[in-house]
Structure 1
């Protein structure tokens, strides 16, 4: 049996991550010629072209795109195996890349990381905060936190707890336009759409007795940021569906009011995601366990 060219696969993964031969060479501490030879060797072995090369641009071919995830898994598992051996005799150390939603990341993840890094001073963390979808494998993310109803995927997912959303608006808005008694009433209200969902214009509801409802919404604001909706909500311009960690303060001080509380708005939860594969460096495992424990408690505190 002829063994796979593991070195070439690892080099391919590095070129994909750094988007250039020179960037991969710097990251791997090898020459650009070594990188180029490894890619040529792998292309010859596979019988396909992995990159379109021009003097100014390097892009993946269809074949390269389909194989990039495999290459990243090979690199990740090889790195994890070596690091596990090294770290068994010492404290975990090195870089962990974490991605999280913007506001939740500021409120919950950043304080947790501060406590974690006191326990593990040898570990460095790169925290990326964005509500946009993150390609975990393609961008080399070790841990991603997502608030969503997750579709099936090859990623490893751990559900940490529920994230409850509410239908909210300013009391003045509801005094003027009426308080909805059934989800269908929202079709006659100015509803803000959060666009980082699969179907932002349809809101689905479920009642404790099993009754379900869906309503198509319309309104003056469409945005990929829940925070951006709050000033317009407080100004009485409409209604939004937002998670409790975003609007807890506004509900407490009376600037916003929740309606339709006898209906469940969504089945979204907080999930911790990691790339496919079973081997992970000790530093990543340590942070996974720490965040899982801390953020489970955080989800519980939201609903007290």
Structure 2
């Protein structure tokens, strides 16, 4: 780093024709510029400049060294410019992790539009409900649906969704009545393996009081789609987000159970390792998704 500054000072002195003007260009003092050039000559064990009271001139060694210094400094400037431009450019490979069901239902229809907007981007989409390590596994960003705990990652909320307790009309007709949350403990349940609460389902009443019940799953799956399919086949209750079952509820294929109680609200978040020097491709995708989910399709 010191030699780089010394080279900068040397080139500035030659270009400006004096130590005073070189100091002005570098926004420093004449003494600092003079010291840097002297240190460079000492390190090289070679005189680079002939100094008189009236003028400066290059030695033969100084003339040869000047051209090499100029090339090095230009290369550094070019490299810095390329990185700075690249950081803001929407280009390159963008590796994204997203939940399986949400990715297929609500993200897959968006990828084509994003690619049309940004033809220099290549998308690498990995769908899994497992929480990946973005840094260790080489992801640029992730879309996660959760009640977020503290994290070293940066997040931006894209939308919200509510977990719904529901079952098919046919199941509810033949099953024992459900009048309280505790009744669910006696019912057939289709459980999502990755649910953070495990077998405990929580709903909140109008006064904001949380009520919990420990369920006894008849079916357990790491896929919300599997739970939904079993519920549609009249096999029991499910506890799933609106983005998956909202359309079924609106169409009457599934019915809300204990509708006076509300399931937890989940955040749909874009997450990335750091806000500092955020690549343009990541920023473009986060902004694109935030705009796309201003009015979520599942609400």
Q: TM-score if structure 1 supplies the norm length?
A: 0.68
Whole-angstrom CA distance in 2 between matches of 1:136 and 1:231: 31
Task: Give 3-state SS (helix, strand or coil) of 2:295's partner.
Answer: helix
Does the 8 Å contact 1:201/1:217 carry over to 2? Answer: yes
2:294 partner SS:
helix
Matching residue of 1:120: 118
Displacement of 1:202 after TM fit?
Answer: 0.4
- Is the 8 Å Cα contact of residues 179 and 259 (structure 1) preserved in structure 2? no
Of the candidates 132, 146, 149, which is equivalent to residue 147 of structure 2?
A: 149
Contact 2:89 2:279 survives alignment (8 Å):
no
Structure 1, unpaired ranges of 5+: 3-80
Match of 1:293 in 2: 291
Separation (CA, whole Å) in 1 of partners of 2:224 and 2:81: 42
The match for 1:270 is: 268
- Against the structure 1 CA distance between its residues 83 and 232, is the aligned structure 2 distance closer, same or farther, given a 3 Å change threshold? farther
CA contact (8 A) 2:203 2:263 kept: yes
Bigger radius of gyration, 1 or 2?
Answer: 2
- Does structure 1 conserve the Cα–Cα contact (< 8 Å) formed by 2:191 and 2:227? no
Cα contact 1:171–1:255 (8 A) shared by 2: yes
CA drift of 1:84 comes to: 4.9
Give 1:219 shift.
Answer: 2.1
Contact 1:83 1:282 in 2 (8 A): no
- The verdict on how the C-alpha distance between 1:83 and 1:290 changes in structure 2, with shifts beyond 3 A counting, is farther
What secondary structure does 2:203 align onto? Answer: strand
**Cα separation, 1, equivalents of 2:105 and 2:246:** 12
CA distance in 2, matches of 1:270, 1:227: 18
Contact 1:108 1:295 in 2 (8 A): no
Unaligned ranges ≥5, structure 2: 3-79
The yes-or-no answer on 1:302 pairing with 2:274 is: no
**How far does the alpha carbon of each residue in 1:132-157 deviate from its partner, in whole angstroms, 9 at most, with x for none?**
22111111111111111111010111
The answer for the alignment partner of 1:95 in structure 2 is 93
Give the aligned partner of residue 50 of structure 2. none
Alignment partner of 1:214 is 2:205: no
Partners of 1:97 and 1:142 within 8 A in 2: yes
Q: Which residue of 2 aligns with 1:130?
A: 128
Can you list the C-alpha shifts for 1:125-179, whole angstroms capped at 9, x where unaligned? Answer: 1111112221111111111111111110101111222111211111121111134
Residues 162, 269 of structure 1: 8 Å contact kept: yes
| Distance in 2 between residues matched to 1:164 and 1:199, nearest whole Å | 15
Contact 2:199 2:217 in 1 (8 A): no
Pairing of 1:1-304 with structure 2 (within 5 A):
84-87=83-86, 91-298=89-296, 301-303=297-299
Indicate conservation of the 8 Å contact 2:101/2:223, yes or no. no
- Deviation track 1:56-80 (CA, whole Å, cap 9, x = no partner) reads xxxxxxxxxxxxxxxxxxxxxxxxx
SS at match of 2:93: strand
- The number of residue pairs the alignment matches comes to 222
CA RMSD for the aligned pairs? 2.2
CA 1:254 to 1:96, structure 2 compared with 1: closer, same or farther past 3 Å? same
TM-score by length of 2: 0.69
1:263 is displaced (CA, Å) by: 1.2
